[in-house]
Structure 1
Amino acid sequence: MPLLEVKIPPMGESISSGILAKWHVADGDVVKKDQPLFELETDKITSEGTAEAAGKITLKAAAGDEVKIGQVVASIDSDGTAAASSAPAAAAPAASAAKSAEQSPAVRRLAAETGIDPASVAGTGKAGRATKGDMLAASAKATEATAAPAPVPPAAKAPVAPASPQSALPTPQSSSPASRQTRRKMSPLRAKIAQRLVAAQHEAAMLTTFNEVDMSAVMALRAKYQDDFVKKNGLKLGFMSFFTKAVVHALKEVPGVNAQINGDSIVENHYYDIGVAVSTEKGLMVPVIRNCDTLGMADIEKAIGDAAKRARESKITLADLEGGVFTITNGGIFGSMLSTPIINPPQSAILGLHAINDRPIALNGQVVIRPMMYLALSYDHRLVDGKEAVTFLVKVKQAIEDPTRLLLAI
């Protein structure tokens, strides 16, 4: 049977190349059909490549290589499955060599400089792979073992003179620059995020307005109906569905925020596809939840949970990230008290949520303790006036403090 070529799959019309971030398998491994093989990073998404057939795999590209769409990075020999399983002893050296070959460029460089085989190092990385820190530690240990003087027998020890104040001072230990810093190439996704954030600040007249919201009503509603909600839908009722619905409500009340600038034209949107920022190991991604005006709370919670899971597992697609009209980002899950989020172009506004903290507030002439959250709306002042921005944020605040407004659309 001819070898099956493993190629870099199409990612979208605007993506022509990417970085082969890591292999999930080693050269010579026997793989199963649909087994994840590699992780590919592009300037827009991170995705996985899977095996189209079972067999013995031969790698033709190393982790860290830049690869083109359609490039052959491995081959699978389905006839090699039985042969590989019948010779486990002979496969051990190959597996060790493959383990060394699949390391990062920094680890391979240190291996060449120090002569230490990464396969012999107890790695702390994924699948037991040696990291740069592991290699540096192994190198330092080997150097200490070589440089350590032989112990002096007790009888041969000379009398020790009393130490002077100056000689009692600790001697600074010298360390190589490599042990004080770690350098790695910026991933295409991280580089693209940086480029877009800088461009947004340069191109938009960005301004941020703030407000605070009393979360008592939403928290009481969740506590009252959480068990019934879980029994019916199989997932918990979170805060994001409330804020998504509140944003849709505010966009309908203040349609000027649901627009964008295209050249010298203003494009008004009449749909409500809301982006929800998700933090991943590769960087911030904003999957879009479609038609939020037609979805119920459970549908929104399911859609957000599914999108976040696929983003963190590198299974998000380019189509999942395109076409949003507004973005919500929640720094509160990390404890953020207040921030000024950056607009996600070409959108004209973004809502930042923050941590919920009990704070004293004045209510009906009395000081009471309530769970309060700061809200931040960053907007493009070229398109959105201050009055519209403040009104929009007030509408969100009102909807959260009195969720009945969402039901009655007032």
Structure 2
Amino acid sequence: MSESINVDVPTVGESISEVQIGQWLKQEGDWVKDGEDLVEIETEKASVQIPAPGSGFLENIQKASEEFALVGETIASIRLSDAPASNGTPPKEPAASASAEPSPSASSGGPSASNPPAAGGGATATTGGTTASFIMPAAKRLLEEHGLSQNQVPATGPGGRLLKEDVLAFVRNRGNAPAAPAAPKPAASVPSPAPRPTASTSLVAESVPNRSEEVKPLSMLRRTIAARLVEAQQTAALLTTFNEIDMQPVMAIRKKYKDAFAERHGVKLGFMSFFAKASVEALRRYPLVNAEIRDDNIVYRHYHDIGVAIGGGKGLVVPILRNVERMSFADVEAGISEFARQAGENRLQPADLIGGTFTISNGGVYGSLLSTPIVNPPQSGILGLHSIQERPVAIDGNVVIRPMMYVALTYDHRIVDGREAVGFLKTIKEIIEDPSRLFLEL
């Protein structure tokens, strides 16, 4: 018998004892190479890929997508083997596999009498797929829940595997189609076309409202976000102050230098680098906004690690730009661009999200006009940016149209007074409306 090794949930960070299965990158029965990513797991901080501990065939998947597993728990195994001779073609599962059912033609040279091929040849009784040679665990559970058999659902997975998505698609389509006979017709008979629903039955069907519900577990990321936001509301004395900024000076700089900036540095010149550098200057002037309460002490940080809220594949994440006071505009833009790419691929690491002394959240990219962001504990402040809109404003006694942005600073009133908060936001406004202050240190 071939030797097998277990695929266990690794330790993914201090104090993390449970993870959620994201998606299997390989299917049961696939041959995998040692070190190749098998499955993506979600922690409360980031997504992590578990590599194969050896080369062989993936077997005995114990946890399906969205299920939870403990650190150290076995979630699959690998039957050690050399690479198949088919040069990458997914091999067939052994006939003795407990969860697999033989195909209709497995015992003879042609189709069985109880399951004749459709007109196109090689298809099951349901048009559009092949007979499943192997059922994934999640698909098997769904078949049992809906009272379906393997031969009713077309399999689209590699090697004729029946996937969870195949069953879900079949259930959805069945709900929109006329009912079909439960048992297959004899081979000699030709199926007659399904009767067309009358106008009255169609009207009745369309008049029934959809009141179905779907229950899905909270992801690890959403559970952590929920816990931290509730913690912030319950432990901190949060208050928000507002201001508005004329964005015309920064927009003029971007328009003038965007091509040269992109050509030289390989990244686009965005607004975030201006606000990140302006925040560093404001944090220097009002260090309490960069501090935190730790027990009965105030901890002043003489560095500026700024978190930037980014919408990722699994939700909002806040990776940290370290020592922004030492970064150039190009460094900030390149760092944000790389974080956005990794977030979209769910490849941010826990170390990317730990720490931070201050946060910037740009709800304007989603169209938000005004909001009150929530502080990310144990930080003491968060700057909220919003959409830019042309509005009439009074300048030197004249009404002019300018691109204006509302900005908000939510702060922990236990440590930051209103005077410091208003001064901080005023500093941001002054620098963005006159960016030369960044270079002249005014």
- TM-score band (shorter)? 0.7 to 0.9
Structure-2 change in CA distance of 1:92 and 1:217 (3 Å): farther
The equivalent of 2:323 in structure 1 is 291
Given residue 109 of structure 1, which amino acid in structure 2 is its aligned partner?
L
SS of residue matched to 2:217? coil
Deviation string, structure 1 residues 302-343 (Cα, Å, up to 9, x no partner) = 111112222232222222111100000111111111111011
Match of residue 314 from structure 2: 282
Q: Secondary structure at the match of 2:19?
A: strand
Aligned to 2:44: 43
Give the 3 Å change call, closer, same or farther, for CA 194–57 of structure 1 in structure 2.
same
1:248 aligns with 2:283: no
CA shift, 1:137, in A, is 1.5
Distance 1:116 1:332 in 2: 50
1:149 & 1:396 partners in 2: Cα distance? 71
**One-letter amino acid matched to 1:57:** L
CA contact under 8 A between 1:56 and 1:81: conserved in structure 2? no
Tell me which residue corresponds to 1:115: 148
Write the distance in 1 (CA, Å) between the matches of 2:201 and 2:18.
Answer: 60
Higher RCO structure, 1 or 2 (CA under 8 Å, sep 6+): 1
Unpaired runs of 5+ residues, structure 2, are 101-130, 183-191
Q: 1:43: how far off? A: 2.1
Q: Do residues 29 (structure 1) and 30 (structure 2) align? A: yes
2:88 & 2:375 partners in 1: Cα distance? 58
Report if the CA contact (8 A) 2:291-2:299 is conserved. yes
Mapped partners of 1:331, 1:119: distance in 2: 44
Shift of 1:144: 3.0
Residue 241 of structure 2 contacts residue 408 of structure 2 at CA under 8 Å; is this kept in 1? yes
Q: Deviation per CA, 1:159-198, whole angstroms, max 9, x where unpaired?
A: xxxxxxxx99964757697x62221111122111111111
Q: Which residue of 1 aligns with 2:17?
A: 16
Q: 1:335 to 1:92 in 2, by over 3 A?
A: farther
Alignment of 1:255-404 (within 5 A): 255-404=287-436
- 1:189-239 alpha-carbon deviations (Å, 9 max, x no partner): 211111111111111111111111111111111111111111111111111
Q: How many residues align?
A: 390
- Once residues 82 and 22 of structure 1 are traced to their aligned partners in structure 2, the CA distance between those partners, rounded to angstroms, is 25
Q: Could you say what secondary structure the match of 1:130 adopts?
A: helix
Counterpart for residue 162 of structure 1? none
Across the aligned residues of Structure 1 and Structure 2, the Cα RMSD in angstroms comes to 3.3
Distance in 1 between residues matched to 2:163 and 2:201, nearest whole Å:
43
> Does residue 138 in structure 1 map to residue 170 in structure 2?
no
Instruction: Answer with 363-372 or 30-39: which moved more.
Output: 30-39
- The answer to whether the 8 Å contact 2:142/2:167 transfers is no
Gaps of 5+ in 1: 153-166
1:335-356 Cα deviation digits (max 9, x unpaired): 1111110110000110111111
Q: Identify the match of residue 69 of structure 1 among 68, 71, 74.
A: 71
> What TM-score do you get using the length of structure 2 for normalisation?
0.79
Corresponding residue SS for 1:120 = coil
Shift of 1:100: 3.5
Per the alignment, do residues 356 and 99 of structure 1 end up closer, same or farther by CA in structure 2, a change over 3 Å counting? farther
Q: Kindly tell me: are residues 234 and 4 of structure 1, through their superposed partners in 2, closer, same or farther at Cα, counting changes over 3 Å?
A: farther
Query: How far off is 1:358 after superposition?
Result: 1.3
Q: 8 Å contact 2:245–2:429 — kept in the other structure?
A: yes
In structure 1, how many angstroms separate the alpha carbons of the residues matched to 2:55 and 2:91?
Answer: 22
Identity of aligned residues (%): 44
Greater Cα shift, 295-304 or 86-95: 86-95
Structure 1 pair 88–43 and aligned structure 2 pair: CA distance change class (3 A): closer
Q: CA offsets per residue over residues 98-129 of structure 1, 9 Å max, x none?
A: 554245xxx83365323054952679xxx985
Is 1:192 aligned to residue 224 of structure 2? yes
With 50-59 and 321-330 compared, the bigger mean Cα shift is at 50-59
Say if 2:5 and 2:78, in contact at 8 Å, map to a contact too. yes
The 3 A distance-change label for structure 1 pair 272 and 205 is same
With over 3 angstroms needed to count, the CA separation of the structure-2 counterparts of 1:239 and 1:17, relative to structure 1, is same
C-alpha distance in structure 2 between counterparts of 1:251 and 1:333, whole Å? 24
Corresponding residue of 1:161:
none
Looking at structure 2, the residues matched to 115 and 44 of structure 1 have their Cα atoms a distance apart, in angstroms, of: 38
What is aligned with 1:81? 83
**TM-score, normalised by the number of residues in structure 1:** 0.85
Measure the CA separation in 2 of the matches of 1:356 and 1:327: 20
1:64-93 C-alpha deviation (Å, 9 max, x unpaired): 332222333233345252267699684599
Answering whether residue 256 of structure 2 is matched by residue 224 of structure 1, we say yes
For the 8 Å contact 1:359–1:372, the answer to whether it is kept is: yes
Q: For 2:29, give the aligned amino acid.
A: G
Alignment match, 1:214:
246
